[in-house]
Structure formats: C-alpha cells, structure tokens
Amino acid sequence: MSSINLPLILTLAVLITGLIWLFDALVLARPRKAKLAAVEQQFSGMSLTTDAQKEAFVEAKDVAAKEPLLVEYAKSFFPVLFIVFFLRSFLVEPFQIPSGSMIPTLEIGDFILVNKFAYGVRLPVLNKEVIPVSKPKRGDVMVFFPPHAPETYYIKRVIGLPGDRISYNNHVLTINGQVIPEKLEAVLPVGAPYMRVVKETIDGKEFTAHKHLIPGELSRHGSWVVPAGHYFMMGDNRDNSYDSRGWGFVSEDMIVGKAFTVWMHWEKFLSIPSFDHVGLIK
C-alpha cells in the first residue's frame, strides 16, 4: 500500500492553518478592528442618504476589515482539514489496494475502509495507543506498518497472536498444534502451473485463500513462536504474498486499524469504477 505519510501531511496542514488563524485572532485582527472603528466614526456624522454615500461607506469598511490572503485561505481550509483529520485519525480511513497479496479477498484496485479505533484509539503520527478498545483476533484483516518498511502501509490477515506457535509446511497451516482445516473449492489454470482455491476456517472465521499446486518458497517449511506484543500476518494469496513468513512479526505499536469493507473498485485511472465487489471483508 501507499508509502506517502498522509497522517503527517494532514497533521501539519491542520497545525499550520490553525496557527495562522490563531495568530490572526490574537495579533493581526487588532489593527483591522481599529481601522474599522475609525471608518465607522468617520461616517457616523453622515446621513448616508444617497447610494453613492452608502457604497462609499461599505467599500471603506471592506477595505478596513480585509484580511491578508494567507489568513483567508487558512480560515477557509482549517475547518475542512480538521474534520478530515479527525475522521482519518480516530474513526475511519480509506485505502486503495495496490497489490495482489490478498487475492481473492481483496483485489488490486479495491477501495477499502479501515476502522481506526477497533484496536484502540491512537495518537496521529506517533501511533501510540491512548485508549484501549480491543486486540486483534485471528482471522482479522489488518492494516499495519511492517518491521522492514515502517513507513509503508501493509494489509494482511492476522494468523498468530502473542504466544502462538505457528507452522506452515507445504501449505498446511498449524496453530498451537492444531491443523487449520481447508476445503477445496476449485482448481484454476493459473499460477505454477495451477492454483487451488480453498476455504480456511480460523477461530470460526471462514475465508477464501489461493494456493499454488506446487508450494512457493515461503510455503514449503517454516515455524515461528509469536513474541509478546506482536502478531503473525499472512496474505490470502499464499504464494504471492511477502508477509511474516519473510519479514517477521508486527508489533502492537505498528497497528493502523481493522479493514472492514470494500466500497468501490477502480483499478486504473482511465477505467470505469465498479461496485460489483462492494461488501464486508470476510
């Protein structure tokens, strides 16, 4: 997913526009108020009976009260930026899926919404949890920053919780000694050389995964013990996903939120958006 630090950019934009507005209210507005008072005093003795006199009075007031252009922009943008900042930081944040690592659950071009408070309310930019809510559960689809690319958003499925023993050998997933069952749905003529479409069930959550008939490098053999405060993540497109099997565990302070719905699909700029794939993320 995108490596642009949008939370930082948005936070700076809100801070800068807010400070400009505050500086204007405390410092710059005083001379304007004095000029406006002088104009009103100057015209106070006039009857202002003609249209020309009224227009002159209005024009003089407008000139006296005119704000600097930068202040005008700051006052216009600050409310909008603050609302967007609040929504993205504490409620819901939109993302677009750029890769196929979560196929078939999420396709390239899917626009998703991420619940920002599902795993606790966190400070923007610092990502520090300030109000605990709940912890990730096995089977959740989660957005996070991986250890090897701490400024890039990733999305995978939660497979292992702190303390879990995970093994993945020739596409057989085992959690704490229990083999995760899979049900074959179809065999597709893609992959290396064919792709199995299977249903997996983890802690009562059923989802669809893709697995090559011949396991890829990360699907052949591996075992891990998830350390405290960390999570083991895997993509549903098991042989086309670079995940915890390759780069390790995700710490709690790198969690962004829980992906919960697809609201649009738009793969290319010149293509037509589609709503056929809209729905809750399983």
pLDDT at 2: 56
pLDDT at 277: 84
pLDDT at 193: 75
* 135 classed as catalytic: no
Q: pLDDT in tens for each of the 282 residues of the chain?
A: 655 677 889 999 999 999 999 999 999 999 999 998 988 888 877 777 787 888 888 888 889 889 999 999 999 999 999 999 999 999 999 999 999 999 999 999 999 999 999 999 999 888 889 999 999 999 999 999 999 999 899 999 999 999 999 999 999 999 999 999 999 999 998 766 789 999 999 999 999 999 999 999 999 999 999 999 999 999 999 999 999 999 999 999 999 999 999 999 998 878 888 998 899 999
What is the topology classification, in CATH, of domain 97-280?
Answer: Umud Fragment, subunit A (2.10.109)
Distances (CA, A) of 146 to 1, 8, 38, 63: 11, 18, 61, 55
* 101 classed as catalytic: yes
- Which entry of 89, 116, 156, 241 is annotated as an active-site residue? 156
pLDDT at 183: 97
**Domain coordinates in residue numbering, the chain:** 6-89, 97-280
Token output for 74: 């700051």
pLDDT at 90: 93
pLDDT at 192: 66
- Which entry of 101, 219, 241, 244 is annotated as an active-site residue? 101
pLDDT at 3: 58
- Record the pTM: 0.85
